[in-house]
Amino acid sequence: MLETGLPLLALVAVGHAASLEWEEGSIELSLSYAGGGLGLLTVRLLVGLGVFLPVTAATLGAFTLLMPELADPGPLSVFRVAWLVTPPALLVGTIGLLASIAGKHYVAGIAAGLLPWGLDLLMPGKVTGSLFLFQASHPLPGLSLEANRWWLMAAALMVLALAATLWGRRERAVRCQAGGGRPGLRAARGDC
């Protein structure tokens, strides 16, 4: 249940982080604030984590109350469960973030994040292979759980790096198109 539900929570928590100003048409104003685009994206991602982490902790706490053996160290501890459910959530969330930056809309992020999640539910591992999201609850033969979790974490970091790069390019494009009477938004000479 956690492995299936937490990716959706991550998708909702961070999928909207980069598209709000694009949807409202206020990106130029937001980029003119101190901290610029990277600061804005960082704050939004921290807010998303501020939603994701407490809900995840509360859910794990509820499971620990229902299953006291989770509190004991061993193969089925609360920390082990957290390690098993976090990588799929991070990958789905970062895919949603990247798509919302690319599509400049929240719906693009939600749709892109739901794609691997839905494909893995309908056709377990056939499309995603070693990046199968639900290996802990529905193991595929021949795929190591530990290796799968590390691959998911590495993929999430790569997607996050792509999202940050695309965000920087979008910010640079907005700064190059701006100008006029807004010196705080102008790009440095040679950036355009």
Q: How many CA atoms lie within 13 A of 43 on its CB side?
A: 11
Tokens (6 digits) for 89: 């959530």
Q: Is residue 190 part of a domain?
A: no
Tokens (6 digits) for 171: 């910010």
31, 175 in Cβ contact below 8 A? Answer: yes
Q: Is residue 14 part of a domain?
A: yes
Phi-psi region of 186 (alpha: psi -120 to 50; beta: other; left: phi over 0): beta
Q: Is residue 192 part of a domain?
A: no
pLDDT at 189: 54
133, 120 in Cβ contact below 8 A? Answer: yes
Q: CB 186: neighbour CB atoms within 10 A?
A: 16
Closest by Cα among 165, 192, 182 to 37? 165
pLDDT at 162: 95
Q: Please report the sign of the dihedral spanned by the C-alpha atoms of residue 137, residue 140, residue 143, residue 148.
A: negative
pLDDT at 178: 64
Residue ranges for the chain with pLDDT beneath 70: 70-78, 175, 178-192
Q: Is residue 115 part of a domain?
A: yes
Domain that holds residue 171: 2-185
Query: What is the tens place of the pLDDT at every residue in 131-177?
Result: 999 888 888 898 898 899 999 999 999 999 999 898 888 777 776 77
- State how many domains the chain has: 1
36, 27 in Cβ contact below 8 A? Answer: no
109, 15 in Cβ contact below 8 A? Answer: yes
Q: Is residue 22 part of a domain?
A: yes
d(CA 71, CA 51): 24
pLDDT at 42: 84
Q: Is residue 191 part of a domain?
A: no
pTM of the full structure: 0.81
Q: Is residue 25 part of a domain?
A: yes
Tokens (6 digits) for 6: 């937490």
37, 167 in Cβ contact below 8 A? Answer: yes
Q: Is residue 113 part of a domain?
A: yes
User: In the chain, which residue ranges form alpha helices assigned H by DSSP?
Assistant: 2-14, 20-24, 27-31, 36-66, 78-103, 106-122, 145-177
pLDDT at 181: 39
